[in-house]
Structure 1
Amino acid sequence: MPDQKPVFLVLGAGAGIGGHVAKRFAAGGYHAVLARRSDEAGLRRLVDDIRDSGGEASGKLLDASLPDSIEDLVEDVERSIGPIHSALFNLGAQIGNRRLEDTTYKAFELGWRLATFAPFRLASALLPRMAQRGTGSLLVTSATAAVRGNAGQHSHAAAMGGRRMLCQSLNAEFAPKGVHVAHIVIDGPVDAPDTLGKMLGDNFDAYKASKGEDGMIDPAAVAETYWHLAHQPRSAWTHELDIRPYTDTPWWNDN
């Protein structure tokens, strides 16, 4: 249909970065498809918020660790809603600080499955379709662990480092085919109630207050950066960038 909206797919559509990026793309004329593992009520709130603002959105609960779940989602969206113009992989794999002896094989492997294998599966299902159309973008949220392995982060650092290298390889193969792959390092605390908020629990408000005004990453501001990345002229594509509050020390200077 000539008036069909382009589709924006989000894996990891929580109340932080994923949900805000979905809202930004919907406001920009996309049909946003939001997928998350749990909290159907929270997913429904995000979808309703977009629709109440005049946008188009759909929601689906999805366990990305299950075989064929990501692949089936891409197939279903392309068939029932429309071609996916842009996608955001926003799933994390943080299991907390654990010493080597406290990191089980199962926990280590789960980090890889969520942080490295899952975006590989999304790319395998989606990027050849984008390449055939000659356009599209894959935005991948990452973390400081992708570029620096701290103590207690064996699973997370290994998995996120693999995610970064995967994005570089995907970009090398698919950029010449018109598909933009961008790797975004979130190098600081995000003001998100269902990620950092859950980790800190009752201490979240005090932590936020301690950071001061604009001392935490605003997911709505991040959404503007993601929108820009997905719409850069192809003569000036950005593959990797990092984001942090102005008060934070960059990872390469924080000793």
Structure 2
Amino acid sequence: MTKPQAVIIGVGDGLSAALVRNLTADYALTLAARSSTKMAVLARELDARIVTLDATDEAAVASLFDSLPTPPRVVIYNPSARVRGPISELSADDVRKAIEVTAIGAFLAGKHAARHMLEAPPVDGVRGTILFTGASAGVKGFPQSAPFAMGKFAQRGLAESMARELHPQGIHVAWVNIDGAILNPGRTEPFDKPGSMLRPEGIARTYRHLIDQDRSAWTNEVAVRPWVETF
């Protein structure tokens, strides 16, 4: 039986790599990112297709989805951009570019994923799942991080709007609040704070749970955070 299609946009060596490994047994994977360097390693390991992509270019995003042999069953959007600095000193051009990656890119991925999923016949009432990788900046703005908060708040609103529109049509949409630092390759936890960082494989299992959720109890937003956090 031909595997259903899964698309992961924004692929590196941390969370996205864990997502790829979690899905590879059950899905035919297309990996997309601005640079192919890290994707190429995963593609060789897991026999995945790779596409070099500027996620803010609508023609390129549309082409990515049009090139799939069948409508995608899973689409995950990971990219975001940060510009730090005092609000009085930020460059409008830099802020605009950051928001284009975090919010406009998410919109384009959601638009073209939904366009194809809506053409697919539902399986047990479900046409597919679209997930957006969020952050705590989408629920609280931190000082000197206005562009990231602007982008993530917009992305969160996009996901909620899409969920209300698309859930009744069989497309599960959810925004995942990554509320903490991820223990990506090359990073180490503070010596005095063991268990304070999120494991990529643990986060990936939450994404997989969302993908496999029964539609009678779909989640449109979930937060993941280290167990040692005191809130």
Structure 2 length-normalised TM: 0.92
CA contact (8 A) 1:8 1:22 kept: no
Q: Is 1:178 the counterpart of 2:170 in the alignment?
A: yes
Q: Is 1:41 the counterpart of 2:37 in the alignment?
A: yes
Unpaired stretches in structure 2, ≥5 consecutive residues: none
d(CA) in 2 for partners of 1:222, 1:10? 15
Supply the AA of the counterpart residue of 2:198.
I
Paired residue secondary structure (1:102): coil
Structure with the higher fraction of residues in helix conformation: 1
My pick for the range that moved more, 137-146 or 117-126, is: 117-126
Report the alpha carbon displacement of residue 67 of structure 1 after superposing the two structures with TM: 4.2
1:65–1:178: structure 2 CA closer, same or farther, 3 Å change rule?
same
CA contact (8 A) 1:190 1:217 kept: yes
Instruction: Give per-residue Cα distances to partners, 1:98-129, cap 9 Å, x unaligned.
Output: 11122111111112211111111112112032
CA contact (8 A) 2:58 2:108 kept: no
Match of 2:211 in 1: 230
Paired residue secondary structure (1:86): strand
Paired residue secondary structure (1:59): strand
Match of 2:128 in 1: 136
1:63–1:211: structure 2 CA closer, same or farther, 3 Å change rule?
farther
Instruction: Give per-residue Cα distances to partners, 1:201-254, cap 9 Å, x unaligned.
Output: xxx44xx2436443211111111111110111100101101011112244xxxx
Q: Is 1:214 the counterpart of 2:212 in the alignment?
A: no
d(CA) in 2 for partners of 1:174, 1:4? 26
C-alpha RMSD of the superposition: 1.5
d(CA) in 1 for partners of 2:71, 2:111? 15
Match of 1:15 in 2: 13
CA contact (8 A) 2:56 2:108 kept: no
Supply the AA of the counterpart residue of 2:49.
S
Supply the AA of the counterpart residue of 2:61.
I
CA contact (8 A) 2:129 2:173 kept: yes
Supply the AA of the counterpart residue of 1:158.
M
Paired residue secondary structure (2:223): strand
d(CA) in 1 for partners of 2:109, 2:136? 22
d(CA) in 2 for partners of 1:121, 1:109? 16
d(CA) in 1 for partners of 2:129, 2:212? 9
Match of 2:142 in 1: 150
d(CA) in 1 for partners of 2:173, 2:30? 19
d(CA) in 1 for partners of 2:192, 2:67? 43
Large movers: runs of 4+ above 4 Å:
none
Match of 2:29 in 1: 32
Paired residue secondary structure (1:215): coil
CA contact (8 A) 2:11 2:38 kept: no
1:211–1:10: structure 2 CA closer, same or farther, 3 Å change rule?
farther
Alignment of 1:87-166 (within 5 A): 87-95=75-83, 97-133=84-120, 134=122, 135-166=127-158
d(CA) in 2 for partners of 1:61, 1:68? 13
Match of 1:201 in 2: none
Unpaired stretches in structure 1, ≥5 consecutive residues: 52-56, 198-203, 251-255
Match of 1:84 in 2: 72
1:24–1:222: structure 2 CA closer, same or farther, 3 Å change rule?
same
d(CA) in 2 for partners of 1:106, 1:192? 30
Supply the AA of the counterpart residue of 1:101.
S
Supply the AA of the counterpart residue of 1:44.
A
